[in-house]
Amino acid sequence: MGEQLTVRLPADLADQLDRTAKRLRRHRSEVVRLALEEYLMAPPEERPIERVRDLLGKVESGIPDLGQHHREHLVKRLRHAR
């Protein structure tokens, strides 16, 4: 095998590791290795805005740049209301 790594675990995490290793009938080191591989191969978490991007702009105003220039649109509307 490759390099050796020493890790200190909190007691509750070590207990969970022991239970998982026993349930899977594998060595603790193998469970840790599998967990690390899965964690490191997962795609990076997307930014929180990406989770709601499809919801943004769903209220149709007919004004495409209302978010960026809301003040100008408000002033224009107030002037025309007089």
pLDDT digits (tens, 9 = 90+) for 44-62: 777 777 766 766 766 667 7
Is 27 a residue whose pLDDT tops 70?
Answer: yes
∠ CA 28-40-9, rounded to 5°: 40
Is 63 a residue whose pLDDT tops 90?
Answer: no
Is 40 a residue whose pLDDT tops 90?
Answer: no
What are the phi and psi torsion angles at 17 (to 5°)? -60, -45
pLDDT (0 to 100) of residue 58? 60
Q: Which segments of 1-82 does DSSP mark as H helices, in order?
A: 11-24, 28-41, 48-52, 70-80
Q: Give Rg (Cα) of the chain.
A: 27
Is the pLDDT higher at 19 or at 51?
19
- Within a 13 Å sphere around the CA of 37, how many CA atoms are in the beta-carbon half? 6
Is 1 a residue whose pLDDT tops 90?
Answer: no
- The DSSP letter of residue 59 is S
